Amino acid sequence: MTVEFSLPIRVYIEDTDAGGIVYYVNYLKYLERARTELMRTFGLERAAVSDAGWNFVVSNVSLSYLEPARLDDQLCATALISGVGGATINFQQTVRREDAVLVSGEIQIACVDRESGRPKRLDADLRAQLEATLAATGETV
């Protein structure tokens, strides 16, 4: 069972502004990829969309941009589950270059009914897996 998931990312020219620095919104993409791959470890092949009629959507984001990343940097995007609610999952996330934290923050995703867009309780099996992961980190639900 994965506690903190880590995804290697290389910075390409398409990720940068005219000065060769990663454009701020691209960090959100890096973090999304790490969350998606973490959720795959729980058996969700399409981590944002279910055949059971629900979707995951981002419901809250709080990020701190601490240092810039640049063209050709080798980065690591991380995702750690920090809380589980009835219809939500909270993550602590970072983008790092070696030991330097470039971006850190908290992101919450919500499970919603695909048709109505209203909150939908997490699947019981998925919730149990998430809670076991939380227990492994020493966090509480």
* Residues with catalytic function: 17
The answer to whether 61 and 84 are in contact (CB under 8 A) is: no
- How far is the C-alpha of 20 from the C-alpha of 111, rounded, in Å? 36
Q: Are 140 and 56 in contact (CB under 8 A)?
A: no
What is the H or E stretch that residue 97 is in? strand 88-97
**Residue 45 CB partners (closer than 8 Å, separation 6+):** none
